[in-house]
Amino acid sequence: MELIFYKYQGTGNDFVMIDNRTKNFPKEKTAIFSKLSDRNFGIGADGIILIENDDKFDFKMIYYNADGSETFCGNGARCAVAFAKQLEIIDQKTKFIAVDGSHFAQISQGIVSLQMIDVDEIQVKENSVFVYTGTQHHVEMVDELNTYPVFENGKKIRYSYKNPGANINFVQQINDSTFRVRTYEKGVENETLACGTGVTAVAIAMHKTNKTNSKSIFLPVEGGNLEVSFAENNGIYTNVFLKGPAEFVFSGTFKI
């Protein structure tokens, strides 16, 4: 079977996009996700995204990690919006469904602003914060992020959480409203150049722990720059938006 695929990236988070509106993709064969994601023997990606039809929404986004586990991905969702526009499913605005619920998004000149889920449960620990922003996130502030052992410590902390574990975000404050982030992602099992749900968790965690009073947070990551804004009332975070670029890279065919 010849698979037509599209490659997208959002601040270095890269994804294989598949138009599965005909339901021909064999997603029950979970080994295919690691094959497609492999950077030496496959296309290479942080994850695989299927776009499908939905009766109530513009489209359905299904995200798979390289290990075949299904979750939500913020940067992947922003790229899915750009892909849906390329497929002419949407124009400038959309409402779509994903594993964590419905999302509103708008796209203009390659910048996608994505509404994330509301966040009302935040666990503040002695040296870290745990936040669910569509997937599980551990947020920890460190010094000297440039030289910090993200892979080694991220892997260790990731497995300290019960199944399915958590993504691990290490953070260094730059100024009152800017926080640099590096993330170890479960499923990928490595550091990635960006993580959309991760920077969202970081922004909320920094506000919750009074590291910032700003409700518009700038978040430099290894692959570029992202922005998270939100409203907050009595510890509940609503109207949460993740904003950043989403770019088409190339398309092709792959034999599966």
Active-site residues, by number, are 73, 195
How far apart CA 128 and CA 143 sit, in angstroms, is 14
> 216-220 contacts: CB < 8 A, separation 24 or more?
216/177, 217/177, 217/178, 217/179, 218/177, 218/178, 218/179, 219/178, 219/179, 219/180, 219/181, 220/174, 220/178, 220/180, 220/181
Give the closest residue to 11 by CA, choosing from 135, 151, 181.
181
Cβ(33)–Cβ(68) under 8 Å? yes
What's the token pair of residue 256?
């599966």
Query: Euclidean distance between the first and final Cα of the chain, in Å?
Result: 5
How far apart CA 159 and CA 186 sit, in angstroms, is 9
How far apart CA 99 and CA 163 sit, in angstroms, is 17
